Amino acid sequence: MTKRLLMIGYGAMGSEVHRLLPEGMELAWLVVPEAYATAVREQLAGRVEVLTAIDQCTEVPDLVVECAGQPGLAEHGEAVLRRGLTLAVVATGALADEALYTRLATAAREGGGRMQLLSGAVTGMDGLAAAREGGLDEVTYEACKAPRSWKGSHAETLIDLDAVTEKVVFFEGDAGEAARLFPANSNVAATIALAGVGMRDTRVQLSVDPATTRNTHRIYARGRFGEFSIELNGYPLESNPKTSTLAALSVVRACRQVLEPVSF
């Protein structure tokens, strides 16, 4: 039996997820801003019902995925969770806002919904969350990207991206600050923090390297379990250098998990 998906947002990530949906999963509803609704309807030629609010969906999706970034989660997340639905979240950086986190968690408890935080652009979050159960002493995260991947972000106020000739660190702080200052780039920092020691205690270093074409993520964790280091070198989506290909694939995986009787 075909499962039906509701997607919030239809930018570069949403389009890629739609293209890669596993057999047995159908994109039935899209929620997009009013300003884009007509264009998206024309683009999809009536194959998907295009909405501007969650309550316009009169049926029950098997899964709701957020591909709209932090503003999309803040605007629509509560409505999804209060309907008792499962919401798969990529824009975990929005949860650095404690008031929003509390509002969404309350909506989930009261409505019977569930917020599923996706691993996004990194790997190893299952192991980090497991290690937390025994106690973690330290978690650090380092990210290095090409100048084009930092364009349009707060990085432009900290460093001249067009003049960089070698790798330069331009930010050091905690995960909450990183997620707030770099919402389009640092959802990873928030994901690691939520899986590990929290926003304030996760140390983050961000850098730019004109010689790289990939996004490099390094995670280090130490605790009662021992210690681990993970390095991932990922490619951004060709259609949006701020979006990780692996982040889009993590959404596709969430869709597949709905279909499979056994899954990782």
Distance CA 147, CA 138 (A): 29
Among 254, 112, 128, 255, smallest CA distance to 191 is for 128
The predicted-structure confidence for 46-105, as pLDDT tens digits, reads as follows: 899 999 999 999 999 999 999 999 999 999 999 999 999 999 999 999 999 999 999 999
Residue from 18, 76, 154, 217 carrying the catalytic annotation: 217
Same domain, 117 and 132: no
Mean pLDDT (whole number) for 142-164: 94
pLDDT at 242 (0 to 100): 79
As for how many domains the chain has, the answer is 2
The mean of the pLDDT values for the chain is 95
* 217 in catalytic set: yes
pLDDT at 233 (0 to 100): 94
Distance CA 203, CA 197 (A): 10
pLDDT band for 184, please (50, 70, 90 cuts): confident
Q: What percent of the chain has pLDDT over 70?
A: 100
Pairing of strands 203-208, 136-145: parallel
Same domain, 129 and 228: yes
CATH number for position 60 = 3.40.50.720
The predicted-structure confidence for 207-226, as pLDDT tens digits, reads as follows: 999 999 899 999 999 999 99
Distance CA 25, CA 241 (A): 27
Same domain, 89 and 111: yes
pLDDT of 185 above 80? no
Please, what's the b/e burial string for 11-20 (b: 16 or more CB within 10 A of its CB; e: otherwise)? bbbbbbbbee
Q: DSSP states of 30-44 as a string?
A: EE--HHHHHHHHHHH
* 71 located within any domain: yes
Task: Name the amino acid, one letter, at 108.
Answer: A
The predicted-structure confidence for 23-43, as pLDDT tens digits, reads as follows: 999 999 999 999 999 999 999
Q: pTM of the entire structure? A: 0.93
Q: What percent of the chain has pLDDT over 90?
A: 90
